[in-house]
Structure 1
């Protein structure tokens, strides 16, 4: 999100994200192999007694390639993968998925060129309700994230250009109307991570927690065969006026070597649990649940 002004807050001590104890091995669950099987966006459809159903988007570009799947995780392990047919004109390079607050079964999907899709999902039937475009940013912008947060009766949208190496990411935020698919004037601010350090995309996805913390994933992508590396940070806080107040130094809350995280979403209401998705290019896509110990989740 780009903000008109930058507000720095003291770095807050927050719990670290730890691999869920219920997961076997390294905790990563395959959702397919090969270049077309990655996860570039993810949203939770339902959660009940250890069963999590999710919508996973894929950043595919060719006509015959799948754009979305419905994935079920049973206590952290993938137990079912169902392809979803995208009707009509196929989107190119989908990079983010976000549930619409207060609208069950409705989501926002965003492509790398800033084209947004308001979609409805009923079981495996997907319907594109309308499309839109995020406000114009820098000509070099390449978007990989989109998040929504209801605050004080207003719906705020947060999205980001991913940045690349020496070029920082740009975080944008603005009030957003789902009924009109329109934005008020966005704020923006540059953001970069200290790690990874090579071939880094400083913002590969964004999530807003229940307590308004702005979580940002970053990934190293040297090419189709890697090696990849990812880290997740608490970058600051989303304020009720729509501005992002960055911490002086982003707080790293997770290291994920060997994988390129391009998707993340809160699983529990408090965001004590997060679900990560990777696009490991030739090695395919994987999901992993991680937990952060908060009083509500204990």
Structure 2
């Protein structure tokens, strides 16, 4: 295994310092909705203002729910302003369109002029859609991720612009007896398909019991891959989670390369919540938002700028 370069380690150390500050900060986990139908299984930043919804950019997020029955909620807007203002607004799935089953992740499509997203199910079905200023979902394309084994259960997906090309990255969650697996490939704008380019095994040291090695993924602008991992013994918990800096995506010649971290050490641990959603916050101060799917206990977020 190749060692991660010092630049990556320095960046990870900076994040570690930030997250240690996060642990001791006054901000707390904030309830969003109660009940098993409202767990947050993925989250993505809204970059463009949804004016008619009173949703300015950088304060609103699109979240997905992993519901399976037609008619139950799939996608919602979560508006967060300061430590006291929190608003949940469910969105209607387009009439006559294929209903997604078990949405587990969502990613902002970078480099577009509108609010465009890709939401992904546990079996690798991808729903490419945009939101207009009223929050109406416009479904643009549906396709499937390539070459997935029969036992696949995806829980993480993200998109990353690198050298002007759009890289898709997705993760099989794994279990105590099954390693997590990270996959990546290039998105073809003409065919609306992703072609697989590589994969890597991911096994985290904590949580140890009832582990899902990958419960979400996000890639920073610098190409650093962050993953969340969780303990999930069932709908009533108890739940635990961790955040890791797992490696680095970069170009080597005309090929994309993933360099895994030389060791996985939790940057942040949390007891009592099953983190399934991670997103970065923009601006000079930066930060991140974590979303939990605590099954029967509902959903909550942890936000720190």
TM-score normalised according to structure 2 size: 0.87
Number of the residue aligned with 2:9:
12
Mapped partners of 1:116, 1:170: distance in 2: 18
Mapped partners of 1:270, 1:182: distance in 2: 34
* Matching of residues 36-185 of structure 1 within 5 Å: 36-46=37-47, 52-87=59-94, 88-103=97-112, 104-122=114-132, 123-185=134-196
In structure 2, relative to structure 1, the CA distance for the partners of 1:76 and 1:188 (3 Å cut) is: farther
The CA deviation string for residues 109-137 of structure 1, in whole angstroms up to 9 with x for no partner, is 00001000101112321121110000122
Number of the residue aligned with 1:294:
none
Quick check: 1:30–1:78 contact (8 Å CA) kept in 2? no
Q: Report the RMSD for the aligned CA atoms in angstroms.
A: 2.2
Out of 258, 261, 268, the position equivalent to 2:272 is 258
Mapped partners of 1:194, 1:36: distance in 2: 30
Shift of 1:21: 8.2
Mapped partners of 1:102, 1:34: distance in 2: 36
Bigger share in helix:
2
Helix, strand or coil: the match of 2:141?
A: strand
Gaps spanning 5+ residues in structure 2: where? 50-55
Shift of 1:23: 5.4
Aligned length in residues = 284
Shift of 1:166: 2.3
Quick check: 1:121–1:127 contact (8 Å CA) kept in 2? yes
TM-score normalised according to structure 1 size: 0.89
Mapped partners of 2:188, 2:277: distance in 1: 23
In structure 2, relative to structure 1, the CA distance for the partners of 1:235 and 1:269 (3 Å cut) is: farther
Quick check: 2:168–2:187 contact (8 Å CA) kept in 1? yes
Number of the residue aligned with 1:247:
261
Shift of 1:226: 0.2
Mapped partners of 1:90, 1:202: distance in 2: 28
The CA deviation string for residues 22-61 of structure 1, in whole angstroms up to 9 with x for no partner, is 854xx21211001001101111114899961111110011
* Matching of residues 181-196 of structure 1 within 5 Å: 181-196=192-207
Mapped partners of 1:50, 1:130: distance in 2: 24
Quick check: 1:196–1:219 contact (8 Å CA) kept in 2? yes
Higher relative contact order (CA 8 A, sep 6+): 1
In structure 2, relative to structure 1, the CA distance for the partners of 1:47 and 1:121 (3 Å cut) is: closer
